Amino acid sequence: MRIVCIDGEAQYKDIVERDVKAPLEKAGHVFDWFEESFADTEAAIARASGYDGLYVVGDQGPVPAGLIAQNQLKLVSFVGTGARRFVDMTEAASVGATVTNVPDFASQSVAEHAIALMFAVARRVVEGDGIVRSGEWTKNQGLKLAGRRLGVVGAGAIGEKVIAMGQGLGMDVVYWNRSERPVNAPRVELDELFESSDVVSLHLLHNAETDGMIGRELLGKLRPTSILINTARAEIVDNDALNELLAAGSIFGAGLDVFVTEPPVEGTLPAASANTALTPHIGFHTDEADDVFRIAGENILAFASGSPVNVID
């Protein structure tokens, strides 16, 4: 098979060459990697011409419309779990293309990052770091988390781990999910969760139903001592409303690993004076989670051998 990645990033190249390109070429396949951004849809379609399959990292956004169909691709191997956000499944089905992903590849890593952001905000770590580096010695006042309520929005693979970690810290944990989940915590309605929680941690997929779901009304229910953590997707939150709350000091702070535009453009970040911990979408970036690249490559090998795995229906 001839496989191409049209949306590669330099930061992943060494991993991909070692864990994907080398095994594929050893098995007799071709794997080409492009880091340059495609100028437009036509350029993207042309870049995939002559290949049988697509290896999708997703950092440059969704697969351009028409690329799968016009190139009659047989396989789309997505690096991660949220393939439906990046791949038009209807278009893939129209040409019989198989779409694979890497299920549950980084739930532990993302859950740990959510907890790390929670501590960073509660104990005002970013502010404290700045104080020490500036030569000052001002003592800022943080929040003790044990005994406080953690509200987890979305109790899938990541959310259930955050629930367990929160309980391990001695927090009172509740969750909201569209349906009951087999977790050891009570399910409450969203309004109650936002009204009663000291920390709200978001773990929802981004789709048509969740776009803007955490809006101004829900955010307005947070208390002055509340913390919002988002390691899911920025699009599920009304970020203008959140930034207003932070700028006004209406909530204690926020820990954000995701942004509508990545990297963020000027004027979209919370006020510099706000108690925030911001990270560049690195929730899944651990040595263990980087196995996602290898597994996406193994999905290609399995498909080529006639025994596809991790197929999205």
Whether the per-residue pLDDT at 208 is higher than 90: the answer is: no
Whether the per-residue pLDDT at 240 is higher than 80: the answer is: yes
pLDDT of residue 239: 96
Whether the per-residue pLDDT at 100 is higher than 90: the answer is: yes
Asked if omega into 270 is within 30° of 0 (cis), the reply is: no
101-125: average pLDDT: 94
pLDDT band at 9 (very low <50, low <70, confident <90, very high): confident
Residue 176 vs residues 35, 42, 116, 185, 195: alpha-carbon distances, Å: 39, 43, 21, 10, 13
151-162: average pLDDT: 95
pLDDT of residue 191: 97
Written as six digits, the tokens of 159 are 């959310």
Report the C-alpha gap between 47 and 59 in whole angstroms.
17
Whether the per-residue pLDDT at 308 is higher than 90: the answer is: yes
Q: What is the pLDDT of residues 59-99, one digit of tens each?
A: 777 899 999 999 999 999 999 887 887 899 999 999 999 99
pLDDT of residue 284: 84
Whether the per-residue pLDDT at 104 is higher than 80: the answer is: no
Written as six digits, the tokens of 27 are 């098995």
Ramachandran quadrant class, 93 (left: phi over 0; alpha: psi -120 to 50; beta: rest):
alpha
Report the C-alpha gap between 186 and 42 in whole angstroms.
50
Report the C-alpha gap between 159 and 168 in whole angstroms.
14
Longest Cα pair distance anywhere in the chain, in angstroms?
64
List active site positions: 233, 262, 281
CA of residue 52 relative to chain centroid, distance:
28
**Percent of the chain predicted with pLDDT > 90:** 81
Average pLDDT, the chain: 94
Are the C-beta atoms of residues 53 and 77 closer than 8 Å to each other? yes
